[in-house]
């Protein structure tokens, strides 16, 4: 029995020759960068209308409250990505980022550095459908 040739799908939105996995990783990283910059317009344009987020601070069913939380909590937040893994799922791609965060809290709460994190972003049709975040803030000491 012949299954036919294996053909890798390409995304129109990606660079020429970019695989679906590479395009998903690029989309997810651009979304994280928009969150880091506090760029509401870009983050909103990149998110699906049914975007959902899960984090140590709670679950959210819309992007707006996540952006509000980030703005109220951090003066600066940088996620230094050390590793990126991409897995194909039934409805898109799961992009995993592993690394360490640094930044400054609002008010007099000081800064932090070296806080481990892992984010899982679901990319579907070139949009961010969900973000799950894990980190070691509970073990972090202000710098």
pLDDT digits (tens, 9 = 90+) for 48-98: 998 898 887 777 887 888 888 888 888 888 899 999 999 999 989 999 999
Would you state the pLDDT for residue 110? 81
Residue scoring higher pLDDT (115 or 110): 115
pTM exceeds 0.95: no
Would you state the pLDDT for residue 13? 46
For residue 129, the surrounding DSSP H or E stretch is strand 127-135
Percent of the chain topping pLDDT 90: 46
Beta strands in 47-126, from DSSP E residues, in sequence order: 47-55, 58-60, 74-89, 92-105, 111-124
Phi, psi of 126 (to 5 degrees): 65, 20
């Amino acid at each position: 029995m012949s299954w036919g040739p294996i053909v890798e799908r390409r995304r129109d939105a990606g660079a020429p020759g970019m695989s679906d996995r590479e395009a998903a990783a690029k989309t997810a990283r651009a979304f994280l960068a928009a969150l880091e910059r506090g760029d509401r317009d870009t983050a909103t344009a990149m998110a699906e209308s049914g975007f959902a987020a899960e984090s140590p601070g709670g679950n959210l069913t819309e992007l707006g409250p996540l952006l509000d939380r980030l703005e109220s909590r951090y003066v600066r937040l940088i996620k230094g990505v050390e590793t990126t893994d991409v897995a194909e799922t039934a409805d898109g791609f799961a992009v995993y980022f592993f690394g360490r965060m640094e930044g400054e809290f609002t008010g007099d709460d000081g800064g932090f550095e070296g806080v481990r994190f892992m984010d899982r972003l679901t990319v579907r049709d070139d949009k961010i459908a969900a973000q799950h975040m894990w980190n070691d803030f509970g073990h972090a000491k202000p710098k």
